[in-house]
Amino acid sequence: NAGVMQNPRHLVRRRGQEARLRCSPVKGHSHVYWYRQLPEEGLKFMVYLQKENIIDESGMPKERFSAEFPKEGPSILRIQQVVRGDSAAYFCASSPAYREETQYFGPGTRLLVL
């Protein structure tokens, strides 16, 4: 079984550009989570989605960041007008049926903003 897939693995953007990060959950998983890891920090929760619904986005910056998990296709984390402080590793995780279950993580996308 394929695990959580994320692409691209590495993304370089200049300040002001947009970054789109994609996540395909484990087949059959309907819950997706996004986390951000800054240098020397643990992972920080950003957003929790189910198909076509945002369940909790309490960890997401209020501006420039958005996430979706459409009925078909991968989950997308979108960062508009990137700034240097957005440089980080972004991890996606999925779980089968409910939030408290084990989350399975993807390899992450390393975003570098020049």
Q: Is 96 in the site for other proteins (CB under 8 A)?
A: no
User: Nearer to other proteins by C-beta: 18 or 41?
Assistant: 41
CA distance 45 to 43: 7
Q: Calculate ∠ Cα 87-92-96, nearest 5°.
A: 170
Find residue 88's DSSP bridge partners: 111
Site string for other proteins, 9-48 (x = CB under 8 A): ------------------------x-x----xxxxxxx-x
Site string for other proteins, 61-90 (x = CB under 8 A): ------------------------------
Task: Quote the least distance from Cβ 30 to other proteins, whole Å.
Answer: 15
User: Nearer to other proteins by C-beta: 12 or 55?
Assistant: 55
Residue 71 DSSP symbol: S
Positive or negative torsion for Cα 87, 59, 61, 8: positive
> Alpha helices of 39-99 — where are they, by DSSP H?
none
List the structure tokens of 14.
């200049």
Stretch in the footprint of other proteins (CB under 8 A) among 14-22, 51-59, 61-69, 77-85 = 51-59
CA distance 11 to 26: 22
**Which residues of the chain form contacts with other proteins (CB under 8 A)?**
33, 35, 40-46, 48, 55-56, 58-59, 91, 93, 99-100, 102-108
